[in-house]
Structure 1
Amino acid sequence: MHHSRLSTLVIDCQSVDLKQATDFWSQALGKPIVTYDSEGDGKYAELATLADEPIILLQRVEHESRVHLDIETDDIEAEASRLEKLGAKRLECVRGRWWVMQAPSGHRFCVVKRQREQFGPHLNKWE
């Protein structure tokens, strides 16, 4: 058995100025900025959310700007396999830490390790 849930809304920004994008989305969504540089490489910024809300990250990317979802799990391989059985495709394992996948609809999403200490009340259990 493993668990998963919607973890993160990731706003992919094809921009060299992630700070400007972060300021915009912070004001647009009414969410304060936690950090302009969460990993120290200028690639990720984070907006503040409550413990029962999805995390909101902004990510500087090379590809066209878009929004994607992250699904967090306590077993990345089991969750990726479950999603493949539903018709998703594995596209890339990034740094050996998460899977970029594609839904049958063409939408990309990621399967990532658990992002918060507590999974919270909105948790799916899979056999």
Structure 2
Amino acid sequence: MSEADTPVFRRCRFQRGPALGDLVELPAVLREFRAGTCDPKRDFCAAPERGGRFIGSAPAEGPRGRSTSRSLPAMHRSRLVGVVFDTPAAQVGLEVDFWSKALGTPTYSPPGEEQFTALIGAVPDLFTVVQAVGDDAPRYHVDIETDDLAAEVARLTALGAESLTRWKDAFTMRSPGGHVLCVVPVHSDPETFARTAHAWP
């Protein structure tokens, strides 16, 4: 079979997940595959999900044994990625000092986003962050990361959440019980996201 006859999906290779031998997708490349712009020379593409379900398209045998493209249901993935201590700006220094010592963790503020202070390694596989807020109401909220923001916001809305605001690529929502959460792009490393994220139809 010539290069031209070989389906793109056949030329793309998979990455094996570290947990149960699952095959997991690489989100950025998956978007390229859905758009039909997967580069076969780079050898990346979509991959099967847990339980034998697939993302994107998979090859199927056509007439005379030739492979054809068969579309299968698209999915997205998401996971709880962070716990955030929303703290009045005037109290952030005290709050960071308290939690750093209480949990025995170093801290880090990303350049240009000094309102966030991460407590490094406080909870395995999760970000724990102190965030300066402009009001006087200390509280907590959680972050959910996803490889498809629109799909995850729609999923949570269907479950009863209410959309509140958007800041950059972070969508703030309120759960049915009144708790605040944010839907954000994938922040964790690819291995952690692949190992711990849930796949949603």
* TM over 0.5, shorter chain: yes
Equivalent residue number for residue 98 of structure 1 = 170
What one-letter code is carried by the residue in structure 2 that aligns with 1:45? T
Secondary structure of 2:134's counterpart equals: coil
Q: Which structure would you say has the larger Rg? A: 2
Structure with more of its chain in helix, by fraction: 2
- Is 1:79 the counterpart of 2:149 in the alignment? no
Task: Select the residue among 83, 94, 98 that pairs with 1:9.
Answer: 83
Equivalent residue number for residue 24 of structure 1 = 98
Query: Quick one: distance in 1 between partners of 2:85 and 2:197?
Result: 23
Secondary structure of 2:78's counterpart equals: strand
5+ residue gaps, structure 1, are none
Query: Quick one: distance in 1 between partners of 2:88 and 2:122?
Result: 27
What one-letter code is carried by the residue in structure 2 that aligns with 1:25? W
Query: Quick one: distance in 1 between partners of 2:114 and 2:197?
Result: 31
Structure with more of its chain in strand, by fraction: 1
- Is 1:60 the counterpart of 2:60 in the alignment? no
Equivalent residue number for residue 111 of structure 1 = 183
Query: Quick one: distance in 1 between partners of 2:123 and 2:91?
Result: 28
Equivalent residue number for residue 44 of structure 1 = 116
1:5–1:61 Cα change, 3 Å: same
Greater relative contact order, per chain length (Cα 8 Å cut-off, separation 6+): 1
> RMSD across aligned C-alpha pairs, in angstroms?
1.7
* Identical pairs, percent: 35
Query: Quick one: distance in 2 between partners of 1:15 and 1:93?
Result: 20
1:30–1:50 Cα change, 3 Å: closer
5+ residue gaps, structure 2, are 1-74
Query: Quick one: distance in 2 between partners of 1:90 and 1:59?
Result: 20
Secondary structure of 2:189's counterpart equals: coil
Secondary structure of 2:96's counterpart equals: helix
1:24–1:48 Cα change, 3 Å: same
Q: What's the offset of the Cα at 1:41?
A: 4.4
Q: Are the aligned partners of 1:13 and 1:60 in contact in 2 as well (CA < 8 Å)?
A: yes
1:93–1:41 Cα change, 3 Å: closer
Q: Indicate the larger mover: 45-54 or 64-73.
A: 45-54
Query: Quick one: distance in 2 between partners of 1:20 and 1:51?
Result: 20
What one-letter code is carried by the residue in structure 1 that aligns with 2:158? K
The TM-score, its normalising length taken from structure 1, stands at 0.89
Secondary structure of 1:6's counterpart equals: strand
Q: Indicate the larger mover: 37-46 or 54-63.
A: 37-46
